[in-house]
Structure 1
Amino acid sequence: MGNKKTNKSEQTLEIHAKEMLSDYVTVVIWSPDGATLGVCSAAGEVMLVKVGAINELSLQPLQTATGKSTDCLSFSFDSQFVAAGGQDGKVRIWRVNSGELIANLDNQRVWVDKLAWSPNCNQLAFSMGRYVQVWNADDDIVEITLNFDSSSVLDLAWNPVVKYLAVSGYQGVKVWNGEDWDEDPHILSVPSVTNAVSWDTSGQYLACGNMDNTLIVNEWGNSEPWVMEGFPGKVRQLAWSNQNTLSGAPLLAASSSGNISVWEKQADENVGWEGLALEVHENVVNAIAFQPNTFLLASAAADGQVCLWYEAEQLLQILEGAEGGFSSLAWHPDGQFLVGGGCGGELLVWSKSMRAKGLGRL
């Protein structure tokens, strides 16, 4: 699978540093420039973290524990702003360099559990019940309120290339054109509920994870989507590699319950995408992510294991350190660090090992 094999010893990780938050880590995310790690918790904490030398993490609290969960966190494309939303219905935006709170948007008792900055401008989209609002940081205004209409918004994702915003929920996905918000959205119909959406890094493919145990891949401009079936439950997590296989398409990983499958597009259009099952986890997989510029896949689960899958095929290494399970993970933009969040508040950072290792436990 893929264009070239990477030496396995270059892929193994070792523990770099560890810290503790006061509750379940809901999100870990790196700023696009790789300078800052963002983390938030079910206690409401929001922190910026600088990763230093071995055993060094410098934590800057933006918000201390409030007793109400913070559930979503996102950095702006230029790493200038960070936004958080959660149980209290507020969307807060800070300047990353100074930690200054520059906006506090109140959504009046509506739980905000999805938000994302545009990958190419300072627009922030966030869920608000059946609606999505888009806030413009440059003008400090809500630019548009989009009505998903058929249900609460379950996920949203910006196209990384063109100004499209995909919003999912009951009966599928609506894709709005950010160049003209008044245009009717493009509708991708699903006979159940789409609870996860993800664009690949080229903006060509949109994956939809559905509650009827299916995965759908839409190639933009192609009216016939690919449908993958046979999952043990709803498809909860999606992740694309940022490099292509020999077929010219990226790999797509999907998780359902404790199972992971990796899908590779075949050269024969009639075959479509073929899947490979990765089975090690004994509990729900809460996060999956490809290391940038490789096919190394990381998976974090409630069984207390982070698994590294060499070429998204073979179990390479198992990382531990969160006895109550792992809730989240994120790769540094250059692939040097992997961070995992734990259900007990653990924040663990691993770095590339300089020593050759086989299968190991840390």
Structure 2
Amino acid sequence: MPGVNKGGSKTAKQQTANSQVFTLLGQHSLSDYVTAIAWFPEAVGSAANYLVASSAAGEVALYQVGTQLDGTMLQSATDQSVDCLAVSRDGQFVAAGGQDGRVQIWQVELAELSSPKLTLIASLENAPAWVDRMAWNPQQKLLAFSLGRYVQVWDAAANQVVTTLNFENSSVLDITWHPDGDRLTVAGYQGIKVWSAADWDDDPYLVEIPSASTIVAWSPDGKYIASGNIDRTISVLEWENPAMPWLMRGFPGKIRQLVWSDIALKRGAPLLASSSSESIVVWEKHPDERVGWEGQVLGQHDARIEAMQFQPGTSTLATAGADGWVVLWQKRRLGQMLDGAPDGFSSLCWHAKGHQLAAGGAAGELVVWSKGTRGQGFGQK
């Protein structure tokens, strides 16, 4: 299948396979590579939308999308990268961590007719450890973050770390929570460990991987868990039958991205998308259990895919590449190509309603597109 080629690109209108067209809403910039982007839940603040973004220079900035505003950053450049960023599901807390080992946590104060006010309530010092993975529990006010071979869990209600978990086998390579919030899942060398949030002292359940799991993802219904492994394989298992995993092979490189759609198809399972180097594969559950998952190659970018995510409520997949394109794959076909980062894109994130898409660039660009309408832009708040 042909790649995404700059030289042969068409206009966005010509490339769109259906009526869902995204147009530029606005753009801004940070001083360095955009490392992470996270949207606030819709209920936060006024009628405007808000997102936070971080950079390799150490910046953390709050943006109001839809109006031009002046303001200050949550954290100015420190010359040490902020590598992970997370907004709690209820929108009450923002957390950031990175190269200096600090985990910064801001509490969001809401005012009915004004934008949210963020107050720094915790600064957890962990140097010389490097914090590069973090995730909020989807049901509780618990933040998990990596510290070398360990994971710590911070409780917002108590404003303290409530447990330190030892992965032992290696440095922690990925962290995620089960959608029910009752299990913390940690990936690393020789497998995935799953701790119960009800009893942190209990031994974790081990999903064995012959090499190392570098990325792990639960399906939104909590039924399946997928891991991308350093030996260029993907394993998928049904949680109720973990002894019989499915294994996918034959990728050109390490699995770097692994994401689920949030809608189930007729066969009862959501779609799973993976990226390896420049290539993309979308996996669908096959009715024959012996076949497992059937993959469809969508095509490829001209350079490595740095981020990907399904649009909420649809099967449209957005991929951001180091080639300077964000591509929307609609109905598993090349739909729309979006630009705005000549040196390459580094990150992307859909708004929870799916009507806006934000992407970050290697030179600090922050770009937001909106479905169907052209807005006024956005600025720092």
What is the TM-score normalised by the length of structure 2?
0.88
Give, as a single letter, the amino acid of the residue that structure 1 aligns with 2:300: V
Q: Does residue 175 of the first structure (1) align with residue 194 of the second (2)?
A: yes
Contact 1:165 / 1:175 at 8 angstroms: preserved in 2?
Answer: yes
**Residue type of the partner of 1:277?**
V
Q: Is 1:74 matched with 2:86? A: yes
Give the 5 Å matches for 1:300-319: 300-311=320-331, 313-319=332-338
- Contact 2:141–2:155 at 8 Å: present in 1 too? yes
Q: Which residue of structure 1 lines up, in the alignment, with residue 42 of structure 2?
A: 33
Deviation at 1:182, TM superposition (A): 1.1
The residue number in structure 1 matching 2:317 is 297
User: 1:109: Cα distance to partner?
Assistant: 1.0
Call closer, same or farther: CA 1:59–1:211 in 2, change over 3 Å. farther
Report what 2:13 is aligned to: none
State how far apart, in whole Å, the 2-side matches of 1:95 and 1:200 are: 29
* Residue of structure 2 aligned with 1:210, choices 222, 225, 229: 229
How far apart are 1:246 and its partner, in Å?
0.9
Count of paired positions: 346
- 5+ unaligned residues in a row in structure 2: which ranges? 1-15, 44-48, 110-116, 375-381
Query: Are 1:138 and 2:157 an aligned pair?
Result: yes
24 and 271 in structure 1: CA distance in 2 versus 1, 3 angstrom threshold: same
1:4 paired residue number: none
Computed over aligned residues only, the root mean square deviation of the Cα atoms, in angstroms, reads: 1.5
1:86 aligns with 2:98: yes
Contact between 2:251 and 2:276, CA under 8 Å: does it hold in 1? Answer: yes
Partner of 1:166: 185
Are residues 103 and 320 of structure 1, via their aligned partners in 2, closer, same or farther at CA, if it must alter by over 3 Å? same
Residue in structure 2 matching 1:240, options 251, 260, 270: 260
Is the Cα contact below 8 Å between 1:51 and 1:57 reproduced in 2? no
- Give the Å deviation of 1:146: 0.3
On the 8 A contact 2:138/2:181 being kept in 1, the answer is: no
Instruction: Encode CA deviations 1:167-195: one digit per residue, 9 max, x unaligned.
Output: 00111100001011111101011111111
Q: Is the 8 A contact 2:25 2:66 kept in 1?
A: no
Q: Distance in 1 between matches of 2:362 and 2:291?
A: 40
Answer yes or no: is the 8 Å Cα contact 1:239–1:290 preserved in 2.
yes
- In 2: Cα distance, 1:136 partner to 1:22 partner: 32
Deviations 1:200-223 (A, max 9, x none): 111111110111000111211212
Match of 2:339 in 1: 320
SS at match of 2:255: coil
Secondary structure of the residue that 1:99 maps to in structure 2? strand
Q: CA-to-partner distance for each residue in 1:304-339, whole Å, 9 max, x for gaps?
A: 01111012x100111011000000000000011000
Q: CA deviation at 1:161?
A: 1.4
Match status 1:258 vs 2:270: no
Asked if structure 2 preserves the Cα contact closer than 8 Å seen for 1:19 and 1:57, the reply is no
Query: How far has the Cα of 1:48 moved from its partner?
Result: 1.3
> How big is the shift at 1:61?
1.0
- TM-score calculated relative to the size of structure 1: 0.93
Residue aligning to 1:14: 23
> What's the counterpart of residue 126 of structure 1?
145
Cα deviation for residue 31 of structure 1 reads 2.0
1:280, distance to aligned residue in structure 2 (A): 3.0
